[in-house]
Amino acid sequence: MKRLLLYILACILLTACYGIEKGSVKPTTFSVSINEVHGTSTTFTIYPGDENAWYAYTILSEYVSSSFSMSEEEIAENELSYMLMSYNNYFVQQENNTARFSDIFCYQGTRDFTERFLIPDSSYRIVVFQIDPYKKVLLNRFCSVELKTKGTVYSDLSFDLSFSADTLRIIPSEPDATYFWDCEDTSNILDDYGDVNYYFRSLIYLYQDYQFIGNLLHTGTLEWVFSRDDKSIKDGDRRTIMVAGYADGELNTPITSVSIVYHKDSVEIIEDDYGNGNTGV
């Protein structure tokens, strides 16, 4: 009898707690602060009136988003519909799935966000909308803000990439200019990214996220000895060398690149232009 009473009490408490959780979703307000805007990225902060409120956001391009000029409610409805379809198709149908809708699609509290691979000199619209993650419905609380990315940062900086035996030298046209460079297995770029531009910018964003991009920037002439500095390289391996100026917090255009095949004590240039800039070789 005692066990039965304890069980009933536990059920009542669980039901009460569940009811409180369900009933705790209340409408609130939102505001958005744009912190930084570059040519291909932006950072912003979302401030909810209630730090416990669940919300999501989307960013739309004037050039490529047909819903750019829609109302906030229409945009939010489209986004929620996509979320529900994704959740039902990829999570609900999986066995032993414990992922909650809110864990996958929603945010809580004041948070900073970064959006990348944006189109330079283009208008964007950020739309924030409140969600009840338990009922998976909108609460008709929206906020939107527009921004315009900066134009592409074109640089007059050029680079001379010269090879002597198995040594690479990168010589910038302006000795004091800041630049970023990388040497990567060509097959990795093609298989995982498709082209140099996408790979190189992804790499920059990664280093920016971990806040050590400053340690990887260079000025003046750089010397790289493959047999000494690339311990994994073997005879016949193919590498792509990429270099570009870095200013205003982002990679500049154009990107200079060249592909080579490594041979012991020598380097064979096999491609003068990878489609993103002049190699200077």
Looking at residue 87, its pLDDT comes to 87
Looking at residue 170, its pLDDT comes to 97
Q: 161: closest CA among 267, 258, 251?
A: 258
Looking at residue 281, its pLDDT comes to 31
**Is the omega angle on the peptide bond into residue 48 within 30 degrees of 0, that is, cis?**
no
Instruction: Give the number of domains in the chain.
Output: 2
Helix and strand numbers, DSSP H then E, in the chain: 6, 15
Running DSSP on this structure, what letter comes out for residue 245?
Answer: E
Domain identity same for 184 and 253: yes
Q: 193: closest CA among 90, 276, 124, 278?
A: 276
Domain identity same for 165 and 111: no
Whether residue 238 contacts residue 261, with contact meaning beta carbons closer than 8 Å, is answered with yes
Q: What's the CA gap between 52 and 56, in Å, rounded?
A: 13
Residue 14 belongs to some domain of the structure = no
Q: What's the CA gap between 259 and 241, in Å, rounded?
A: 6
Domain identity same for 142 and 167: no
Question: Taking the CB of residue 145, how many other CB atoms lie within 10 A of it?
Answer: 16
Looking at residue 92, its pLDDT comes to 67
The residue ranges of the chain whose pLDDT is under 50 are 1-21, 272-281
Q: What's the CA gap between 247 and 279, in Å, rounded?
A: 20
Domain identity same for 35 and 98: yes
Domain identity same for 163 and 265: yes
Domain identity same for 141 and 165: no
Q: 131: closest CA among 60, 76, 67?
A: 76
Domain identity same for 95 and 171: no
The last residue of one of the domains, among 101, 126, 148, is 148
Whether residue 242 contacts residue 256, with contact meaning beta carbons closer than 8 Å, is answered with yes
Domain identity same for 91 and 183: no
Q: In terms of residue numbers, what domain contains 182?
A: 159-271
Residue 184 belongs to some domain of the structure = yes
Give the CA radius of gyration of the chain: 26
Which residue spans within the chain are E strands per DSSP?
Answer: 30-37, 41-48, 54-61, 107-108, 111-116, 123-132, 137-148, 159-164, 167-172, 179-185, 222-225, 238-247, 250-251, 256-263, 266-271
Looking at residue 129, its pLDDT comes to 97
